[in-house]
Structure 1
Amino acid sequence: MRESYSLLPITELKGVGARLAEELEQLGIATVDDLFAYFPYRYDNYELRDLTDVQDQEQVTILGKVQSEPLLNYYGKKKSRLTVRVLSGRYLITVILFNRPYLKRSLKLEDTVTVTGKWDRNRATLTSSDFHIGQPDQNAQWAPVYPVKSGVSVKKLRVLISQAFTQFPNRIKENLPKELLTSYKLIGREQAIRTIHFPDGQANLHQARRRLVYEEFLIYQLKMQAYKRMKRSSSDGIRIPLDQKRIREFVGLLPFSMTHAQNRVIDEILKDMASSSPMNRLLQGDVGSGKTIVAAIALYAAVSAGYQGALMAPTEILAEQHAENLHNLFQPFSISVGLLTGSVRGKKRRELLENLSNGKVHILIGTHALIQPEVVFQNLGLVVTDEQHRFGVGQRGALRLKGKEPDVLYMTATPIPRTLALSVFGDMDVSTIDELPGGRKQIKTYWVQENIIDRVIQFMKKELDQGRQAYVICPLIEESEQLDVQNALDVHAQLSQALPGYTVALMHGKLTPEEKDEVMNSFKKRDDQVLVSTTVVEVGVNVPNASLMIIYDADRFGLSQLHQLRGRVGRGNAQSYCILLSDAKSETSREKMRMMTETTDGFKLSAYDLKLRGPGDFFGKKQSGLPSFKLADIVHDYRTLATARDDAARLVQSPQFWQEDRYEQLRKPLIESGLTQTLHLD
C-alpha cells in the first residue's frame, strides 16, 4: 500500500516570482502548504475603544475626526514628527506620528481617521503605530503578526496568505477522522487554519487554536508511537536470560528495604530486559529517591546473565562516585567494576581497555570517554546514562552502538510531570520513582535577606561546632561588573576569616579534574569543614556528614537547580538545613523563594520551573531533542498532549489505521518519515 502526495511550489501563487520565492524560502516557506502552515505568533487587536476605559500607556485603537491642520517638524537626518488634533468621543487629543510627513498633504479638517497607538493619559497624546484615513476595516480588527526576516514584511505575508485562500480554495484537506472531530467537538481543518490567519474574535480564535494544537500533538505522538513500534518489531534486541533467584538474593542482601515505587520500576525494567525488544526507558525520580540502586540491580541482572554493563555520567566526580559505590556493592559477588575518564591515561588505560574487550571488566563506569572508538566491549547488554539531559542526543546514541542493540536505561534527577516526559522523551517508556525512602528527616529550608549574613555565619558555626560540614554555593567564580552577585573567591576569603579554627575549601569549574578530585576527597574525608563552590557540586559526591547548604544569590538559579543543590545535604542522620540568601527584588524571584521554602517535592518544583522558564530553557535547547511545535505549548497544553498520546497509541496499534481511507491524511507524515514498517502488524 503506497500513498503519494504532490507538492505545490510557492511560485504557483500569483505575484510570487523567483526573487520573492527565495526570500520566502528563508522563512521556511517553499510550497503553498508551507505558507498555510506559517502561523502568526501574536495578534494586534484593532477593536475600537472609548478612551474613558483605557489605562495610561495602554495600546488602543480609536475612531476620530481631524480638528486641526497637521503640524510637521523635521529633526536629525530625514526624521520627522507630525502632530494633529483629533476628537474621539468627548476627548480632544493630540496624535503624534513619526516619519510619515506625506500625511500632512493628505489630512483635511473633519476627516475620519482610525488610529492605533500608546495612550498617554496625562498629556492626552496618542503616539501612533498604525494610522489610516477612514473607517476601520471590520475584517482586520485582529491583525496577525508573523516572524519575518529578509525582504518579506508582515503586510506582504498577510496579502500572500489571503491570495492563497482565494487561488487554492480546496487545497487544505481534513486530516482528522470524523469520530475524533465529533468526540472532541473540533472545527474543520480548513476553517481552523483560515481563522488562525484571519480571526474575527477571541472565541473563534480559541476554537481554531484548540483544533490545531490537538492536531500537532497527535501527529507528533503518532510518529513517536510508530517509531517505538517499528523498533520493537524490526530490531533484534537482546533477550537477557534473567536469573530471578540470584536477583532476589542480591536485593535481599542490601542493607535497606526497597520502597514500593522502587520495586515497581525494577519490575518494569527487568520485564524489558527479558524481552527480545531493545529497552529504551527513562527512569526519573526526585533527589534521594534511590534511582542509583535501581540501576545497580539492573546492572547486576545483566552481568549475572553473562553480559557487560556500562554507566555514563556527565562529570568525573559523579562517575567516580558511581564507580566507588558500585565497586563496594559488587565486590562480594566477584563483579569487576572499571572506571574510565579523561584522567585515566597510559598503561592503566591500556590495561583497562584490554580487560574490557576480553570480558574481564564486567561493568565500565565513565564520562563521555566511554564513547571513544578505542572503547570495545566483549558483550555489552545494558547501558545506563545518568543525568541523561546533560548529554547530546548523538552522545547517548553513540554509547548504544558499542553493543548489538543493548538495553538502555536513562536516569534523571530532574523529575517532570509524566505527560511532559512522554513528550520530550516520546520514543521512551517512562518509569517514575514517586516515593522517598522512609526515615529521612525533611530538610528545613529558609529564605533570608543578604543583610543578615552575620547571623547565617553564626548558625553555620554552631553546626560546625557539632562536627557537621557545610556547603556554600555561589553563582559566579569571579567578580562581574554586569551582575551584582557574590562570587566564590570573595566568599571563600570572607568565610576563612570569619571561621577561625575551621578549614574552608574552594572548588570551581576552572580547576583541573585532578584538583577537583583532591578538593572533593578532602571534604569527604572531613579534612575540610566548609566547601565554597560554584554549582560543580550540583550532582557530586555523597557526603552524609554535610548538614548545611547555603546558597548566595539564590534567585539567580532555577528552581530545579536549587532543589538539586539542596539535595546535597540531608543524606545523614542529622537534621539538615538549606538557607537561601536572596534580596529577591522581582515578584518572580520572591515566588521562587516561597516555593522552595514551602515544598521539598521535586515534581512540584520542576513543574513550576517549567512554567516559569519555558521548555526551551528548562531542558536545554541544544541537547534535549525537544520537539518544535508551531502553536502547541507542552507546558500549558499538557492535557491535550496526554489525550493526543493516548489516541496515537490506540491508532498505531489498530489495523484499520493503516488500511482505511479515513486515516489517509494522518498516515501521510508517517510515510514521509519512513515509518512504513509499522504496516506489518502482529
Structure 2
Amino acid sequence: MMALDLNQLSVRQIKGVSAPKEKELHAFGVHTVADMLEYFPFRYEDYRIRDLAEVKDGEKITIQGKIMGMPVLQRYGRSKSRLSCKVAVDRWLVTAVWFNRHFLQDQLVPGREIVLTGKWDQRRLQLTAADSEFPDKGTAKSGTLQPVYSVGGSITQTWMRKTMSQALVQYGSMIEEVLPRELIDKHRLMPRRDAIARIHRPEDTKEGQDARRRMVYEELFLFQLKLHAFRTLTRNRMDGVAHAIDNEAILSFVKALPFDLTESQKKVTNEILHDMRQPYCMNRLLQGDVGAGKTIVAAIALYAAIKAGHQGALMVPTEILAEQHLRSLQKLFAEYGVQVGLLTGSMTERQRRDVLGGMQMGLIDIAVGTHALIQENVLFRSLGLVVTDEQHRFGVNQRSILRRKGMNPDVLTMTATPIPRTLAITAFGDMDVSTLRERPQGRKAIKTYWVKHDMMDRVLGFIRREAGAGRQAYIICPLIEESEKLDVQNAIDLHIQMQQAFPDLRVGLLHGRMPAADKDETMRAFSQNEVQVLVSTTVIEVGVDVPNATLMIIMDAERFGLSQLHQLRGRVGRGEHQSFCVLIADPKSETGQERMKVMTETDDGFEVARRDLDLRGPGDFFGTKQSGLPDFRIADMVSDFAVLETARDDAAELVARPEFWQQPEYAGLRERLQREQIFQGDLLD
C-alpha cells in the first residue's frame, strides 16, 4: 500500500474541518494536511501548577486548591459583576476573583477542587482569574504547556488546538523524515515525526525547545540546499561568458586614476575579475557603505568586459542617477575610446533610435539606463557584463530580463544598503558577496546631531552659515502633501516656509510626483549651485552626488527607518569640506529615540544595518517585498542566525559531494529540488 503524500492531501480530510473552516484556513496559507501540521505555535501558555512561595508579584500563574466558604457576587449596573471566593492553596488562603463571570457562582461549591489561571497580586494574596476549571470534570488543561497559534475570524485557539490534535491522531504516523541520517546524528536532532508532535504538544519547555530547534534547522537547511544546488548546477553548465581579461590594460587604467584604490577596492576587483574569467555566469553582490567607492570598481569591471570584446550595461533606478553615471563614466573613459550611451524613458524617439542602433551594431560599449534597458526592442551585439545599481529597487523579473539580453552575461549587483551577514547569506545565498569596508582616503566623517523641533531657529542659522560660505543644504521631509493621519511637515509647505526664511537664497523643491523633466532640471540646478537649499522627499535617497552640499537636515526623522536615515546622510560628505547631518525628531517616540541614538553614535553603515535589523526585523529591512526574502514558517533570521550558518555549511558540503547526486539515500532531497524546479536551468530570480 502506497504512503499518502500529506502535501497532496486537502486539509478538509482532517475530521472537524468544514468547508467554511477550510476557506478560513486557506487565508492562513494552510491548504494541505502537511501545511496544517507545519502551522506551528508562536508561543505557549503555561498551565503548569506553581508553588506560591516561588511566584513574583504580577506574574501570570496556575494554582490548584480547595474552595473554602460560599462565593460572593457583586453586580455593577446591568452587565458588570465581580465574583469572589476563598481558596486554600497549600498553606495559603487566597482570594480568587472573576469579573463578569456570574454564571460560575453555582459551581463554586465549598470543598470542591479548582484550578485557577490568572494574575497574582502578592500584597492582597489575590488571583484575578482569566481561566478556571474543575478537575472532577476530567477536561483539565492544568499541568500542561498549551500552544498559542496565530488565529482569526471564527478560528479560535480552542478550535485550532483541538483540530491540530485531531490532525496528529489521523496523520502523525505518516510524517516522513526529510533529513539524511548523518545530519540528524551530527546535530542530535529529534526525528521529524516526534518534533512535529512535540512542537504542538510539548511535555515541558526543553522538549518544546528541542522540537523547535529541529524544525528551524530543517527549514533553513532545505532553503540553503536549494541555493547551493542551484549554484552548483549553474556553474556546471559552463555556458557563461569567459572573458579574456587584459591584465596590462586594466593595470594601466588603474594607475592612471587620479587616486589610489583602497585595499578593499583592490580585493573586490580581483574577486570580480576572477569570476569574469570563468566559463560560468558570475552572480556577485558588491555591497559597500555610502561613499565606499563601488562605482569605480564597477567601471573597472566594465572596462575589462570591453577589452575582452564585449559590451556592458549599467541599470539604475532613476533617470537622475543614470545621467550622473553617464557623466562620470564618460569622464573616466574619455582617453580610452570607450563609447558610453544613455537610454531612458524620457528620450525623444530619434535619440532612442540612435542609441538602440549603436548598441545593436556594437558602436556603444556601455549602455547606461533605467528600466528602459529591459524593453523588448533593446538588443546588444555582445552583452558580456550587466551591472545593476541599488538592485533592491528593481523587481526580480526586471533583473532577469536584462540578464537574458546576452548569452548568459556576468552579473554584478551593487548596493549601498550595507546588508548584515544574516541577510546576505539568506536573501542573496545564490550570490557571491564582495564587501567594501574602507572609505577612500581624505573622506571626513559626517557629524550627526539630534535636535527637537523647538530648535528650528538655530537650524536655520546653521543653513545660513553654510550658504554664506558658498555651500549647499538638503532639507528632507517624509510627505509631499498634508495628511490628516500624520501630523508631519510636508515638502510643499516647507518649501514655502524656506523661501520666506531665505529670501536672498534660491530654494528648490523636489518630490516624486513632479514630471521627470522638472526633477532633472531641479537636480541639475542644485548640482551646479544655482539652487542653494533643496527641499525634498526621499527621492534623493540613492546615488545623487553633489560634492558642494555639506548639510543634511531631516525633518520628522523618527518617521524614517535607520538604513534610510543613513542613506540620506550619505548624500553629504562627498567633497573636501566638513559635512553635517541634523535630525529633527520627536523625543516622545521610543523607536525614534533608539534610531536617533544609533545615528549619533555611529556612521558605520554595517553597524547601522545590524541595529536596523534588530529593531525592525528582516521583513521590513529593504522596505520592499521585492527583495526576495523567504517567508519562513518557524525560523527567524535574527535569533536563529547561528543555525542559519550551520545549515548553509552543511548544504554546501553536501551538494559538493558526487554521492549526493547519485546515492539512493539522498533521493528524497533530489526529488524535493526537482519539485522546486532547480533543474530547469531558470535562475533563482
TM-score by length of 1: 0.91
Deviations 1:81-138 (A, max 9, x none): 554213344332421146xx75455554444333434568899986654333338846
2:597 matched to which residue of 1? 594
Partner of 1:268: 271
Deviation at 1:444, TM superposition (A): 1.0
**Which residue of 447, 458, 472 maps to 1:444?**
447
1:650–1:115 CA distance, 2 compared to 1 (3 A): same
Q: What are the residue-to-residue correspondences of 1:53-452 with 2, within 5 Å?
A: 53-56=55-58, 59-63=60-64, 65=66, 67-69=69-71, 71=73, 81=80, 83-88=82-87, 89-97=92-100, 103=104, 106-117=107-118, 129-134=130-135, 137=140, 141-149=144-152, 152-168=155-171, 170-234=173-237, 236-452=239-455
Output aligned runs, 1:601-680, within 5 Å.
601-675=604-678
CA apart distance, 1:262:
1.0
2:528 corresponds in structure 1 to 525
- Aligned AA (1:561): Q
Greater CA deviation, 14-23 or 454-463? 14-23
Letter of the structure 1 residue corresponding to residue 258 of structure 2:
P
How far did residue 559 of structure 1 move? 0.9
Please tell me whether the aligned partners of residues 312 and 370 of structure 1 are also in contact (alpha carbons under 8 angstroms): yes
1: distance between equivalents of 2:332 and 2:24?
62
Contact 1:392 1:622 (C-alpha < 8 Å) held by counterparts:
no
Deviation at 1:294, TM superposition (A): 0.8
Q: How far apart, in 2, do the equivalents of 1:506 and 1:564 lie?
A: 19
Counterpart residue type for residue 86 of structure 1: C
Per the TM alignment, residue 19 of structure 1 is displaced from its structure 2 partner at its CA by 6.5
Aligned pairs for 1:440-479 within 5 A: 440-479=443-482
The C-alpha deviation readout for 1:510-559, integer Å capped at 9, x for no partner, is: 21111111111111111111111111111142111111111111111111
* Cα RMSD (Å): 2.8
Asked if the contact 1:81–1:97 (Cα under 8 Å) also holds between the matched residues in 2, the reply is yes
Q: 1:631 to 1:71 in 2, by over 3 A?
A: same
What is the distance in 1 between the residues matched to 2:185 and 2:413?
39
The 1:49–1:378 alpha-carbon spacing in structure 2 relative to 1, beyond 3 Å, is same
Distance in 1 of aligned mates of 2:524 and 2:677: 51
Are 1:27 and 1:149, in contact at CA under 8 Å, matched by a contact in 2? no
Closer, same or farther: CA 407–317 of 1 in aligned 2, 3 Å: same
Distance 2:85 2:660 in 1: 62
Cα contact 1:39–1:196 (8 A) shared by 2 = yes
- Deviation per CA, 1:375-430: give whole Å up to 9, x if none: 12222111111100111111111111212211111111111123420211121111
Deviations 1:320-355 (CA, angstroms, capped at 9, x unpaired): 111111122122212111111121122212222222
Q: Is the 8 A contact 2:546 2:572 kept in 1?
A: yes
Match of 1:550, SS? strand
Task: Output the amino acid matched with 2:85.
Answer: V
Cα deviation, 1:476-513, whole Å, max 9, x if unaligned, reads: 22233322222223332333233342222121122111
Deviation at 1:73, TM superposition (A): 6.7
Structure 2: distance between partners of 1:242 and 1:4: 55
Q: CA deviation at 1:50?
A: 6.6
SS at match of 1:517: helix
Deviates more, 1:280-289 or 1:201-210: 201-210
Q: Distance in 2 between matches of 1:529 and 1:198?
A: 65
Relative distance call for 1:389 and 1:677 in structure 2 (3 A) is: closer
Residue matched to 2:46: 45
Count of matched residue positions in the alignment of Structure 1 and Structure 2: 670
User: Quick one: which amino acid aligns to residue 208 of structure 2?
Assistant: L
Does the residue aligned with 1:486 lie in a helix, a strand or coil?
A: coil
Question: Does the CA-based 8 Å contact 1:280-1:429 persist in structure 2?
Answer: yes
Give 1:177 deviation, angstroms. Answer: 3.6
1:36 corresponding residue in structure 2 = 37
Shift in alpha-carbon separation, 1:238–1:5, aligned structure 2, 3 A: farther
Structure 2, unpaired ranges of 5+: none
| Aligned AA (2:490) | N
Moved more, 544-553 or 232-241: 232-241
Distance 1:505 1:26, change over 3 A: closer
1:451 positional shift: 1.3
Q: Does structure 2 conserve the Cα–Cα contact (< 8 Å) formed by 1:95 and 1:125?
A: no
Q: 2:565 aligns with which of 553, 559, 562?
A: 562
Question: Equivalents in 1 of 2:386, 2:208: separation in Å?
Answer: 47
Change (3 A) 1:405 1:62: same
Task: Tell whether the 8 Å contact from 1:323 to 1:339 is kept in structure 2 after alignment.
Answer: yes
- Structure 1 residues without counterparts, runs of 5 or longer: none
Tell me how far apart the structure 2 counterparts of residues 234 and 137 of structure 1 sit (CA, whole Å): 61
Q: Is the 8 A contact 1:548 1:569 kept in 2?
A: yes
1:25-45 C-alpha deviation (Å, 9 max, x unpaired): 554444433332121122222
8 Å contact kept, 2:49–2:143: no
Tell whether the 8 Å contact from 2:305 to 2:384 is kept in structure 1 after alignment: yes
After superposition, the Cα gap between the structure-2 partners of 1:621 and 1:204, relative to the gap in structure 1 and judged at 3 Å, is farther
SS at match of 2:214: helix
What fraction of aligned residue pairs are identical, expressed as a percent? 52
The one-letter code matched in structure 1 to 2:133 is H
What amino acid does structure 2 have at the position aligned with 1:37?
Answer: E
* 1:436, distance to aligned residue in structure 2 (A): 1.4
| 1:586 shift after superposition | 3.2
Deviations 1:137-180 (A, max 9, x none): 46763211223356544323322332343344532333334443
| Distance change in 2, residues 1:350/1:129 (3 Å) | farther
Alignment-mate amino acid for residue 48 of structure 2: E
**Secondary structure in structure 2 of the residue aligned to 1:447:** strand
CA contact (8 A) 2:452 2:585 kept: yes
Q: What is the deviation of 1:675?
A: 3.6
